[in-house]
Chains A and B, each alone.
Chain A
């Protein structure tokens, strides 16, 4: 029973696999279905790079086993730009120097996507608190915070009619 079947919907597409029970959701995404946008920094729940949405909620995919996600809907960074068209938040990251090396970016984007969905008018404090669980070693966070606030403004002004996705 150390091998188990799991059926996970990732970015709208279903993937059924028989996997080791110990396989994390992060490794499932990266190695089983080759979605390498989700990054693994620390593998013990500290850095936040592996953050994905599971049934709409941000979670650390290194702290969840793929078998636990059986029947769940997962959104990864690839799912934010389904047709290669960047989301409003992603575009705001580019425009506001919200990334440099890009390692933390997938986790930042997913975390902030959840925030903007729930709080269309976040304060700077809200943004800073939302990303306390995501480490960035390049930007000093200033560009990321600016990008999030800019994206919120653009969304309120009607950009990206599908919402922040």
Chain B
């Protein structure tokens, strides 16, 4: 259970990091290492070069402006979990983070690492899908902004090219007072979810839904926006019937089957968890449904 030999690089500047990534063969980026290092220990992943971003302070931090939160790729999950800005403007992320691994892994794990790893059952990619986040990919060729739905390319796959790495992610802010809901089912706290659901609701006068997103994760190769549910909600008054109808749209998905659960069971969970997430979101938006 020891990783194979590799050369270690600890750049002090982003420019140096992307030059190394462009130049070195079979190189990987080391962010928080909470997924990559286990895979290296198992020798699922064998690299010749590891480029550690731990020394790049410029990739850390949360800034608020222009209607969005910009989160540096190397911002630790724990720092996001306790951030007052995240709690205020992106409450879904705060809640989701409590389900991400354990305290010890959140102390090291980063948002950029989670997104690049792209586990289908991971929480942070689901949050980025829910808010229609934008990923900033950097390389020696420049910066590329990738909408999250294009970034999530498949099972543990992203739209990043081999010489690109994530520098930051932009999360558009919803109106203060929007409601959020996050539920997942896992056999133990901290395990990857078998299925999870994240809901966002913005409600206007007469309880009419102005915006709605419903995102499922752990059911398909990448986080899945349930557009049928969203279109059933927007423009309608929010009540128990509307939530039921929206959650029922989760029946339409085609979930994966694996050793953890069959597709039928996941479909059942998707509907139940969607309903819970939407109800929480409605309540937090000030609607008793």
Contact = CB atoms under 8 A, between A and B. Distances in A.
Interface in B29-83: 30, 33-34, 37-38, 40-42, 50, 52, 54, 78
A9 B144 CA distance: 40
A78 interface: no
Given A65-B8, A67-B10, A44 B38 contact: yes
A57 interface: yes
Contact of B54 (A22, A27, A58, A68): A68
B118 to A, nearest CB: 18
A22 B104 contact: no
Given A45-B38, A59-B108, A68-B54, A114 B103 contact: yes
B5 A20 contact: yes
B2 to A, nearest CB: 7
Q: Among the interface residues B5, B34, B103, which one has the most CB atoms of the partner chain A within 10 A?
A: B103
B104 A62 contact: no
A2 B37 contact: no
A63 B40 CA distance: 10
Interface in B114-169: none
Contact of A51 (B7, B30, B38, B104): B104
A89 to B, nearest CB: 16
Nearest to A43: B1
B188 A132 contact: yes
Contacts of A43: 1-2, 41
Interface string A106-123: 000001001000000000
Nearest to A110: B104
A64 B8 contact: no
A27 B3 CA distance: 12
A64 B31 CA distance: 11
Contacts of A57: 78, 107
B189 interface: yes
Interface string B1-27: 111111111100000000000000000
Interface residues of B, number: 32
Contacts of B78: 57
Nearest to A45: B38
A83 interface: no
B176 to A, nearest CB: 28
Given A22-B3, A133-B102, A67 B8 contact: yes
Contacts of B3: 22
A68 B31 CA distance: 11
B103 A64 contact: no
Interface in A64-121: 64-65, 67-68, 70, 111, 114
A3 to B, nearest CB: 9
A39 interface: no
Given A60-B104, A111-B103, A133-B105, 14 more contacts: A2-B5, A2-B7, A2-B8, A43-B1, A43-B41, A45-B34, A58-B103, A58-B107, A59-B107, A63-B37, A65-B8, A130-B103, A132-B102, A132-B190
28 contacts: A1-B9, A2-B5, A2-B8, A4-B8, A20-B5, A21-B5, A21-B8, A22-B2, A22-B40, A43-B1, A45-B37, A48-B104, A58-B104, A59-B107, A60-B34, A60-B104, A60-B105, A63-B34, A63-B37, A64-B108, A65-B33, A67-B8, A68-B52, A68-B54, A111-B103, A130-B103, A133-B103, A133-B190
Interface of B: 1-10, 30, 33-34, 37-38, 40-42, 50, 52, 54, 78, 101-105, 107-108, 188-190
Interface of A: 1-2, 4, 20-22, 24, 27, 42-45, 48, 51, 57-60, 62-65, 67-68, 70, 111, 114, 129-130, 132-133
Across the A-B interface, give the 5 residue pairs with the lowest CB-CB distance, nearest first.
A133-B102, A21-B8, A43-B1, A44-B38, A1-B7
